[in-house]
Amino acid sequence: MNCFYCKGMTKSGTTTHVVRLKTSIIIVKNVPCIECVQCGETFYDDDVAVQIERIVKEMKTEITEIAIVNYSAA
């Protein structure tokens, strides 16, 4: 697969996904991704995106200001 932005080569890896809400921040660590080796842009497959959405939805009700979640443990 090539990068959608710069057309560079991509590789599998992990990244940290940050969601900024009005009153809080949710950080999801070790998220599986596809990363461009040229520009560093990251992409998620559909299953990972659905899992991130589920994690964020759950954490919205549990946090007051900041939460850090490990993707593989969620």
Class of domain 10-73: alpha beta
4-41 pLDDT tens trace: 999 999 999 999 999 999 888 999 999 999 999 999 99
pLDDT at 8: 96
Instruction: Return the domain boundaries, the chain.
Output: 10-73
CB-facing half-sphere around the CA of 59: CA atoms within 13 A: 24
pLDDT tens sequence across 23-33: 889 999 999 99
Residues 6+ apart with CB under 8 A from 27: 16, 17, 18, 19, 66, 67, 68, 69
The answer, yes or no, to whether residue 46 has pLDDT greater than 90, is yes
Q: What is the mean pLDDT of residues 42-54?
A: 96
